[in-house]
Structure 1
């Protein structure tokens, strides 16, 4: 069991979720999920340089989420997130590192 403190934005909504997929210590893809507290939240895959990959995603299986229009801008902490994720994943063939 994992218990976490509830985190929210200033307006009380859930913050966006960043899931970094690392293979052999290298981040290969980032899943960005927004509006998680709404019934139809949004998700998009990006590469580590925040180039949109155009891969659909929904609850672990390919599907069409409500699309972003326009696409979200890269977070200011993107470089730090990738560096941390790659550091944590160095010793493993696959690791997913999550950030809020």
Structure 2
């Protein structure tokens, strides 16, 4: 078994559509540049990635107060992820939610 790096994340208000789930871990995926965001209970999994992997000029609208809310004190602690959607009828067609980033 590989050593796996996991980052624990808390969402006090949950995430849209899953407000009852507050704690997740983000772990590496063998399918780079994607990661897995999994609920601590293991029931819910999301495929996530940095939007900058695909859009160099992506300019998210994230205010300084939002970074303060997540207690990001310096640039190294600021991470932006987006949830990936894989379409059931055509698994090669994927989209990323760029309007509701995870910070």
TM range (shorter): under 0.3
Structure 2 length normalisation: TM-score?
A: 0.25
Query: Which of 1 and 2 has higher RCO (CA within 8 Å, sep 6+)?
Result: 1
Structure 1 length normalisation: TM-score?
A: 0.25
